[in-house]
Chain A
Amino acid sequence: MTEVRVAGVGLTPFGRHPERTGRDLFGEAALRAFEDAAVDRADVEELNYGNFMGALAEHQGHQAPLMAEAAGVRCPATRYESACASAGVAVREAVRTVAAGDADVVLAGGMERMTNLPTDEVTEGLAIAADDLYEVRAGVTFPGAYALMANAYFDAYGGSREDLAHIASKNHENALPNEYAQYRREVSVAEAMDAPPVAEPLHLYDACPITDGASALVLVSEEYAAEHDLDASVAVTGTGQGTDRMALGDREHLARTPAADDAADAAYADAGVEAADVDVAEVHDCFTIAEVLALESLGLFEPGEGISAAREGLTTADGDLPVNLSGGLKAKGHPVGATGGSQIAELTRLLRGDHPNSEHVPEAEVGVAHNAGGTVASAVVHVLEVAG
């Protein structure tokens, strides 16, 4: 097994870009990633690309070859779809390919266009990440599903809407200096509490926005990095994935996410680290309650303790374990099929020291990224480390 290095990362600004096509967005992210990596495009051996609802949003299936064109690479190109974990699985397969020695250079990432659709069509589009037969037909929306988990969590462990509001407020504050974030605006706990309900107990500021954007990573083998004298100081040392029953109602736990438990266990074992070693985390906070479930699945907090972590200042920028210093999906935005790649890009920048929030984690050695699909029927976890 060879070590997998992040040679370069690229993001588009996340936000509303209804006038831009998917290939334009992914092309921009890839361009930035190649500039950052100083890697020759001709050396790319595979493109792993994540996208969820392109067939709905752009009437465009078979997107991977288009994105290879947009990125200026000519190599086997495949689209990965795993709902909101689409880019996570694309990156995971890239990591495995390089680690196995099957390629020295792989381009991975993802793209989603969402704001060109009316909001109700986006709601419908996102809902198809749930079980159509037994959930969507019973009125379960994407926020509705997380609301079901939130009420189950409150019932099992306690917690309140105010705890969730602290998570929203924290992530909005983290997004302020992030040039790629959709919402660079403070949201107070009171403002979040007063927002209109979406699916109770979740209100407007408990939910991530609808976002367009793309992410791209150039992953290389340690040997390639050395040979080409690349500045690739961050390594992806662990990857893990888990799957759960599709319908929320078919799961053993309504207030826990076993798919993410499995993904985290596998990623930590792969990297040879433990939860206690983690210095900084980017987790899938599509809804505020999702951050809580992620922290507990990652073993960073015991079940029932993740809910108060933001309120107690443990996961804030100046806390012991800063979480979502990018702003998270909540404030940075959630272009569904790009998100998993953007989390790795942000963690890489944080660990390299060139993220606007790197000052909050100057000694950080180990970062973890958690990317969830649907209501966590899919989960992908990656461990990133500063290479020794």
Chain B
Amino acid sequence: MSDDGADAADETDETDAAPPTDRHYAEWLDALADGDGFALVCPEGHGSLPPRRVCPECGAADLSREPLDETGTVATYSVVHVPSPRFADDAPYATAVADFGPTRLTGIVRDGGADDEAPEVEIGDTIAVDVGERATDGERLVVFRPAGGR
């Protein structure tokens, strides 16, 4: 991995910049929104998400950007009725953890169109990952959409 992680701490002109972790998250969301979603994968094949300097599983420092699988599988989910304030206008919504190859993502499951619908979801469902917005304040977040089959 060449362009991620190590340079963040060196920034000096960051009065208006988001904290380093936020910046890497924003970059990752940008990539995801552009259809270039990726994970950081170590030589052992462990997948993780930025920011990382080493693989959290084995400590390997040579991480490469690998494209995320086109679709993932729901590992677990919950329909949240009592949200935190930042999700006040989003509830009820379905949060899911989904396997994308060696990497797991956590996001909100939504149908294709309206951003305020919590679709039926089951463990084992096939889903695609995208970037959406929180209804409450427009902040971007990871969104899963049904991709057919289970």
Contact = CB atoms under 8 A, between A and B. Distances in A.
A248 B106 contact: yes
22 contacts: A123-B83, A123-B85, A127-B84, A136-B84, A137-B141, A138-B108, A139-B93, A139-B108, A141-B82, A147-B78, A148-B95, A149-B76, A151-B77, A152-B123, A196-B81, A199-B79, A200-B79, A200-B80, A200-B81, A245-B56, A249-B105, A250-B104
Given A138-B106, A138-B142, A249-B105, A200 B78 contact: yes
B56 A250 contact: yes
The secondary structure that dominates the A interface is helix
B88 interface: yes
B150 interface: no
A143 B83 CA distance: 9
Q: Which 3 A-B pairs have the closest CB atoms?
A: A147-B78, A152-B76, A249-B104
Contacts of A157: none
Nearest to B21: A133
A135 B84 contact: no
A24 B84 CA distance: 29
Interface in B17-76: 21, 25, 48-49, 56, 75-76
Contacts of A147: 78, 80
B106 A120 contact: no
A197 B93 CA distance: 12
Nearest to A207: B82
Contacts of A149: 76
Contact of B84 (A123, A150, A202): A123
A151 B76 contact: yes
A140 interface: yes
Contacts of B76: 148-149, 151-152, 155, 254
B97 interface: yes
A201 B77 CA distance: 10
Nearest to A198: B82
B7 interface: no
Nearest to A252: B57
Contact of A254 (B21, B48, B97): B97
Interface string A115-137: 00000110110010000011111
B32 to A, nearest CB: 12
Question: Which of B48, B77, B81, B108 gathers most chain A CB within 10 Å?
Answer: B81
B30 to A, nearest CB: 15
A124 B85 CA distance: 7
B81 A197 contact: yes
Contacts of A304: none
Interface of B: 21, 25, 48-49, 56, 75-88, 90, 93, 95, 97, 104-108, 123, 139, 141-142
A135 B105 CA distance: 9
B107 A138 contact: yes
Interface residues of A, number: 36
Contacts of A248: 97, 106
B86 A124 contact: yes
B85 A121 contact: yes
Interface of A: 120-121, 123-124, 127, 133-141, 143-144, 147-152, 155, 196-202, 245, 247-250, 254
Question: Which of B21, B123, B139 gathers most chain A CB within 10 Å?
Answer: B123
A381 B11 CA distance: 42
Nearest to B79: A200
A96 to B, nearest CB: 27
A141 B80 contact: yes
B141 A199 contact: no
B111 to A, nearest CB: 16
Contacts of B87: 139, 141
A123 B97 contact: no
A328 B77 CA distance: 26
A137 to B, nearest CB: 6
Contact of A247 (B25, B83, B106, B108): B106
A139 B90 contact: yes
A214 B88 CA distance: 31
Nearest to B97: A249
Contacts of A198: 80-82
B95 to A, nearest CB: 5
Contacts of B56: 245, 250
A124 B84 CA distance: 5
Contacts of A139: 80, 83-84, 87, 90, 93, 95, 108, 141
Contacts of A120: 84-85, 88
Contacts of A134: 49, 105-106
Contacts of A124: 84-86
Contacts of B85: 120-121, 123-124
Nearest to B95: A139
